[in-house]
Amino acid sequence: MFRKFIGTLALCLSFMLIANQAYAERIRVGSWKGGSYNSKKTGQFSHCVVSAKYKRGDRLLLSINRKYVFSLGIADDRWNMKRRNKYTVRLQVDRKAVFKRTGIAVSSRQLVIPINDRATFFRMVKGGSKLWIETNGLNRGYNLRGTSRALNATLRCVKRQLRYANNFDQPRRVDEPRPDTRYGSGETRTKPNRYVNLPSKNTQRKTQPVTSKRFAVSSEKALIYSINLLSDAGISGYKILEKSSLKKAGYQAVWSYSKGKIGALATFKSRRKDFVDTQTAKILGDDAKSCKGKFASGFRKSDTSKNWSGRRLFTICSSSSNGNDFTIHYSIGLQPNGRATIVATLVNGDGLDNAENDDSEAIDQAIYKSRTFRNLGR
């Protein structure tokens, strides 16, 4: 995701030994920019960080790691510190209580200051207007405009990354082979079926239009289904797209929530009882194949009964070499009569730029839980 910022961050974000890590998620809030980082050694999430550059040339960094430890960082090209040396630091917000801490030089030009009592100082920085830092013979003031929103976004970033890491598949390193068993027991990798997948941004594919014989209903009725479904899920503010490349990929109805955030629906008839499992394998296989970076996937919810079968799953592509990062949420439903429905919620590069307001998971959950979704095709 960090296509525009990688050059800048590579220079200043050696934060928490960032030089040995790779980014996964982007944060942009006003003048604050940053994202999440995964360890190159383990591939696991490490921390989220934001930074802002000040007119005098230095940069302030705010970081929260996977254990919710809050740290400050200062990067200044004019410094010449000895790496790994420790420095006494005095911190003060709006001339209130003084905090004394020990900073560590992670490079000759950057100092990291761990804050053990995160809650107290965290609240002070969020609610403050000016931060004073005295260290290494310097006494500097930092305007904290926008810090509250930036820290909230950073905290959400940590929670999202930990949720993905702890509950679902771990992100795979680019140079690691994908195991054949990643779909779970009883599922095998099959040749991807193009109509199940939402293509990531700017990806060129040789997809053939799906004939109407595969669909359970006409495209006109699928559009009505979509409108009723979104209404029942409490979703508004969307725009129906008459023309979309996703229709060539096999979706019957496509709509846009906002820039970079798209929804799509397809219906199928005469599906076998194992449709949910086989379709899951095809979705994961196709999305993994189209991802040219770190790929992660997982299940959120599965339901099986004699009256209805369904599943929620997601795929994530980050740090892609071709810039085609994406997050896709899928809701799959199958009726006993063999009619099936797939609703996909795609967030591509444009949408990921605004990760602070990403409600795609909540949208997918509302769709899956709606009565309309569970009744489609009956």
Question: pLDDT tens across 283-341, in order?
Answer: 998 888 888 888 888 888 899 999 999 999 999 888 777 777 888 999 999 999 999 99
Query: Where would I find the H helices in 200-359?
Result: 219-232, 245-248, 275-290, 349-352
| Position 12 pLDDT exceeds 70 | no
CA atoms within 13 A on the CB side of 173: 12
Mean pLDDT, residues 216-227: 90
Separation in Å, CA 237 to CA 90, 227, 257, 307, 373: 49, 11, 7, 32, 19
Residues 6+ apart with CB under 8 A from 284: 182, 183, 297, 313, 315
The residue among 351 and 345 whose pLDDT is bigger is: 345
Contact 273, 329 (CB under 8 A): no
Query: Where would I find the H helices in the chain?
Result: 6-12, 118-127, 147-167, 219-232, 245-248, 275-290, 349-352, 360-369, 371-375
The CA distance from 116 to 87, in Å, is 16
Q: What is the pLDDT of residue 211?
A: 38
| Position 11 pLDDT exceeds 50 | no
Residue carrying structure tokens 């761990």: 114
Q: Which residues pair with 315 in a beta bridge?
A: 297, 328
Q: What is the pLDDT of residue 229?
A: 94
The residue among 53 and 165 whose pLDDT is bigger is: 53
* Helix pair 147-167, 118-127: axis angle to 10 deg: 140
231-281, pLDDT tens digit by residue?
999 998 899 998 888 888 889 999 999 888 899 999 999 999 999 999 999
Q: What is the pLDDT of residue 196?
A: 40
Sheet of strand 59-65: strand arrangement:
21-29, 32-39, 45-53, 59-65, 70-75, 110-115, 98-107, 86-93, 130-135, 138-143
Separation in Å, CA 349 to CA 199, 207, 262, 317, 327: 12, 21, 12, 10, 9
Q: Which residues pair with 318 in a beta bridge?
A: 294
User: Tokens representing 20?
Assistant: 């040995």
109-153, pLDDT tens digit by residue?
888 988 866 677 777 887 888 989 888 777 888 888 888 888 888
The CA distance from 378 to 368, in Å, is 16
Q: What is the pLDDT of residue 157?
A: 86
Q: Which helix (H) or strand (E) holds 266?
A: strand 261-268
Domains of the chain: 6-167 (2.60.40.1880), 194-375 (3.40.1000.10)
Residue carrying structure tokens 């930092």: 142
Q: What is the pLDDT of residue 159?
A: 82
pTM score, whole prediction = 0.49
User: Tokens representing 96?
Assistant: 């209130």
Mean pLDDT, residues 334-360: 80
| Position 189 pLDDT exceeds 50 | no
Q: What is the pLDDT of residue 77?
A: 84
Q: What is the pLDDT of residue 76?
A: 86
Residue 189: Cβ within 10 Å count: 16
The CA distance from 252 to 217, in Å, is 9
Q: What is the pLDDT of residue 308?
A: 95
The CA distance from 92 to 131, in Å, is 6
The CA distance from 250 to 266, in Å, is 7
Q: What is the pLDDT of residue 354?
A: 53
User: Tokens representing 132?
Assistant: 């004073």
Reported as a pLDDT band with limits 50, 70 and 90, residue 56 is confident
User: Tokens representing 247?
Assistant: 């229709």
Reported as a pLDDT band with limits 50, 70 and 90, residue 1 is very low
Reported as a pLDDT band with limits 50, 70 and 90, residue 35 is confident
Would you call 36 exposed, middle or buried from its count of C-beta atoms within 10 A (0-12, 13-18, 19+)?
buried
The residue among 172 and 333 whose pLDDT is bigger is: 333
Q: Which amino acid is at 357?
A: N
Q: Which amino acid is at 25?
A: E
The CA distance from 47 to 95, in Å, is 29
Q: What is the pLDDT of residue 10?
A: 22
The residue among 179 and 117 whose pLDDT is bigger is: 117
